[in-house]
Structure 1
Amino acid sequence: MNDKVGKKEKISQNIKRQARISRYVIYRETQIDFREQFWSFIGAFFGIGIIAFIQSFYLTKFENIFLIGSFGAASVLIFGAIQSPLAQPRNFIGGQLISAFIGVTILKFMPDILWLNAPLAVATSIIAMQITKTLHPPGGATALIAIIGTEKIKALGYFYVISPVLSGSLILFFTALVFNNMTKHRQYPTNSRLTRIFKTRNFKD
């Protein structure tokens, strides 16, 4: 009898603990004041802006292959939902790279079967990200772009994984490290010693 009561109490405590964690996460993501919105705007503006600047002034002879659509979706997470597990570096960079690799691989094996290679690229990238614990929603778009992108993007082959995907992701990541740690209320990545480098003494207290 006592064992049953003990198990019920443990279950009840676990449920309450999970509820507290959920409320905390929801609170952190929904209670956003003007300062948070300001730094989200500035971070996204500079992150995408740097990539666009490189494309416009240094890669003008190429089509727009350095700035891909999935970076816009990624910016929503890493600048607007910085507490989300899906926005953390492992998920962001890992998910992008894995998805890009899968997209290119499927295109090489099925170059002319759009009705099959497009959904297969997205679905496979989701499973791969789940297995590697790097789930990052914009990764699905990165895989799809490898399939439906312009001919110049397709011609990149596996170099697509390096540039634009890795190069652009690193630009966004380092931009996020700076602008997501400008105030004491913002910390990116979460629970990481790396953020201490970008925290000034004024924000420690």
Structure 2
Amino acid sequence: MKRKVKRHIFKARRIIYQETLVDFQEHFWTFIGAFLGIAVIGWLNSNLAPIDNLFLIGSFGASSVLIYGIINSPLAQPRNLIGGHVICAFTGVLVHKIVPGDVWFTSALSVALSIVFMQMTKTLHPPGGATALIANIGSEKIQALGFWYVLSPVLSGVLILFFVALLCNNATPHRSYPKNKHWYKVWKRKYLKQKV
């Protein structure tokens, strides 16, 4: 019995270890994607500062880990990336505007509501919680944006990350993003065949 348990533990360790092995090409494209995505947003943030725009927020770093590093995760898919951030940004700003009170209360309420709304809409994206939190604890510049926070920096930044992910994650044949391309097949069948 003891021997059988040891054998199963050995197999489990080996399977888990092999699942974490990633080849050099994966590392390369993950680096390129994350670097380009954050670099474009950072460049916009630093060069468009005179017109008082803000583009770079902390939750984009966490989103980059998902959409460039674990591209097959359900949490990294476009619906989750875009929908999760937008829902959380809107929820965070709404709670900040409507509920007067201490920062600890509005922060906790906005994150908790954001998670529930993401679950209800099937757009769960963990960095979205940080997006809602930033709407409450961010700098005066972020809080002064009000509902514009949803469009810029959140939606504009997420779309930049998404388009960079489309380019970098589909650059090689063994990487494919988004994972489910069913929407493209439906669109192709419906619209492209009508033109022919």
| Range with greater deviation from structure 2 (125-134 or 27-36) | 27-36
In structure 2, the CA distance between the partners of 1:78 and 1:28, relative to structure 1 (3 Å rule), is farther
1:2-57 deviation digits (Å, cap 9, x = unpaired): xxxxxxxxxxxxxxxxxxxxxxxx89963411110000000000000000111111
RMSD (CA atoms): 2.0
The residue number in structure 2 matching 1:99 is: 88
The residue number in structure 2 matching 1:165 is: 154
1:45 and 2:38 equivalent?
Answer: no
1:145-188 deviation digits (Å, cap 9, x = unpaired): 00000111101111100000000000000000000011111000
Give the share of equivalent positions with the same residue, in percent: 61
**In 2, Cα distance between the equivalents of 1:68 and 1:172?**
12
Corresponding pairs, count: 170
The residue number in structure 2 matching 1:18 is: none
Give the 3-state SS of the residue equivalent to 1:131 in structure 2: helix
Give the 3-state SS of the residue equivalent to 2:105 in structure 1: helix
Match for 1:116 among 101, 105, 116? 105
**TM-score normalised according to structure 2 size:** 0.81
Which blocks of at least 5 consecutive residues in structure 2 are unaligned? 1-15, 186-196
**In 1, Cα distance between the equivalents of 2:17 and 2:76?**
17
1:72 and 2:51 equivalent?
Answer: no
Letter in 1 for 2:26: E
Moved over 6 A (4+): 26-29
User: How far off its partner does 1:59 sit?
Assistant: 2.1
1:62 and 2:52 equivalent?
Answer: yes
The residue number in structure 2 matching 1:202 is: none
